[in-house]
Copies of this chain bind each other. A is one copy, B any other.
Amino acid sequence: MEYETPLFFHVMEYAGRADRDVIDMVSGNPDWEPPQALRDGLHEYADLEPDQFQYPPSHGLRELREEIAARRGVDPEQVVVTNGAGEANYLAMARALERDRGNEIVLTDPVYPYYPGKTTMLGGQQRFVPTDETGQLDPADVRAAASEETAAIVVNSPNNPTGAVYPEETIEALVEIAETYDAILVSDEVYDHYDLSGTFSSALAVDSGHRIVTNAFSKSLAITGFRVGYAIFPPELVEDAKSRHMLVNVAGSRPSQYAVLQALRETGPDYYEQNRQLLRERVETFTDALDAAGASYTTPQGSFYVLARFDGYPGTLENVERLIDEAGVAGMPGEAFGNSRRDWLRFALVTPRVEEAAERLATYFD
């Protein structure tokens, strides 16, 4: 069986082997500080009694599930703490497919590459709906693509790679389409704390047995390596998801969950706002330089990414490698995200060297 392995790791390895200084704008790894309470929590954990080093409850530490449930306004029983958003999306998509209400997964184009990879691995069929130039999704297009064969519609807002934030009407319409075809809307909201537009709307706001919301602390607490995420299921879908989680992973990492719980409890809104402000400044710096370079680009409403297009320089893996070697800037090829952004490159604004990177690009494409 062949899976579509995401290219992220390949590009990062290529950049790591380069002979020259390379500015890494490949993956969505925040370069800012995690909350101090997270570090403190890990220190505290390291000195606990041995029983605290053993299996946490399979679905996550009780206090962590309660903390998440309280923040999201759901019952703790609906929450499964997962090994990052990666496992949360895997559980959600598997749960949708095993309902035997169809075998098709509706995805957007451009798409976050793990979704088609997971679809194939789970034996589902992919069906792509193009977004518009700004990355917005027209519910009418989704309705036209949906059918009795639809098991799930998987969306991501704030979006990777386009930076689009879907308005409330879009989310409501997507839930309604899922209900019409007895399918599941899987709403991946991992960038919810990086809504720069103030227009973000969670699918949890729409009460329905046909939507699963996935999320993680990877981006919001700047800890992609801790692997703590969660999925919120409708009550009638949660039990089988818990079983799958148990049979695949038994449980998640307890030191990670413990530290995240401390960080959630003790970190105020300032922390999140500071990081959004940093990102706003980087977006401005980077797009100003792209303007100077005469490139086309998207201005993100949220998430970490800018899609840029340079004339005569399509977003192939080959061109990304050339850019690493010749300009010292590593991005992701647009072709990794589907057909519609083949001419584009994606740059993650997770380096303090955003200005320098933009200058290098301006010089290179001059």
CA distance A58 to B27 in the complex (A): 13
Q: Is the CB of B53 within 8 A of A222?
A: yes
Q: Is the CB of B32 within 8 A of A50?
A: yes
Interface string of A124-157 (1 = CB under 8 A from B): 0000000000000000000000000000000000
8 Å CB contact of A43 from B46, B224, B226, B259? B46
Q: Is the CB of A56 within 8 A of B243?
A: no
Q: Is A34 among interface residues, defined by CB-CB distance under 8 A?
A: yes
Choose, from A2-10, A169-177, A303-311, the stretch at the interface: A2-10
Q: Is the CB of A54 within 8 A of B225?
A: yes
Q: Is the CB of B54 within 8 A of A224?
A: yes
Within 8 A of B (CB), among A198-244: 222-227, 240, 243-244
Pairs across A and B, CB under 8 Å, 26 listed: A3-B244, A3-B247, A9-B246, A27-B55, A29-B51, A42-B42, A42-B255, A53-B222, A53-B223, A54-B224, A83-B252, A84-B250, A86-B247, A86-B248, A86-B250, A87-B250, A90-B249, A114-B250, A117-B247, A121-B244, A121-B248, A225-B253, A227-B249, A227-B251, A248-B248, A253-B256
Q: Is the CB of B3 within 8 A of A243?
A: yes
Q: Is the CB of B3 within 8 A of A240?
A: yes
CA distance A240 to B3 in the complex (A): 7
Q: Is the CB of B240 within 8 A of A253?
A: no
CA distance A323 to B330 in the complex (A): 62
Chain B residues near A121 (CB, 8 Å)?
243-244, 247-248
Residue of B nearest to A252 (CB): B227
CA distance A39 to B47 in the complex (A): 7
Interface string of A22-53 (1 = CB under 8 A from B): 00000101111110000110110111001111
Residue of B nearest to A259 (CB): B255
Given A50-B33, A86-B248, A254 and B240 touching (CB < 8 A)?
A: no
Q: Is A57 among interface residues, defined by CB-CB distance under 8 A?
A: yes
Chain B residues near A254 (CB, 8 Å)?
225-227
Q: Is the CB of B98 within 8 A of A1?
A: yes
A351 → B minimal CB distance (Å) = 10
Chain B residues near A247 (CB, 8 Å)?
3, 5, 86, 90, 114, 117-118, 121
Q: Is the CB of A54 within 8 A of B29?
A: yes
Chain B residues near A1 (CB, 8 Å)?
98, 240
Given A3-B244, A43-B46, A50-B31, A253 and B227 touching (CB < 8 A)?
A: yes
The 8 A-B residue pairs with the shortest CB-CB distance, nearest first, are A225-B254, A253-B253, A86-B250, A42-B46, A29-B54, A3-B243, A1-B98, A227-B253
CA distance A22 to B117 in the complex (A): 47
Within 8 A of B (CB), among A105-131: 114, 117-118, 121
Q: A54-B223, A86-B249 are in contact. List 12 more A-B contacts (CB 8 A).
A: A2-B240, A29-B54, A29-B55, A31-B50, A53-B223, A54-B225, A56-B225, A83-B252, A87-B248, A87-B249, A87-B250, A90-B248
Residue of B nearest to A59 (CB): B9
Residue of B nearest to A44 (CB): B46
Chain B residues near A253 (CB, 8 Å)?
83, 225-227, 252-253, 255-256
Residue of B nearest to A97 (CB): B1
Q: Is the CB of B256 within 8 A of A255?
A: yes
Chain B residues near A45 (CB, 8 Å)?
42
Within 8 A of B (CB), among A246-299: 246-256, 259
A31 → B minimal CB distance (Å) = 6
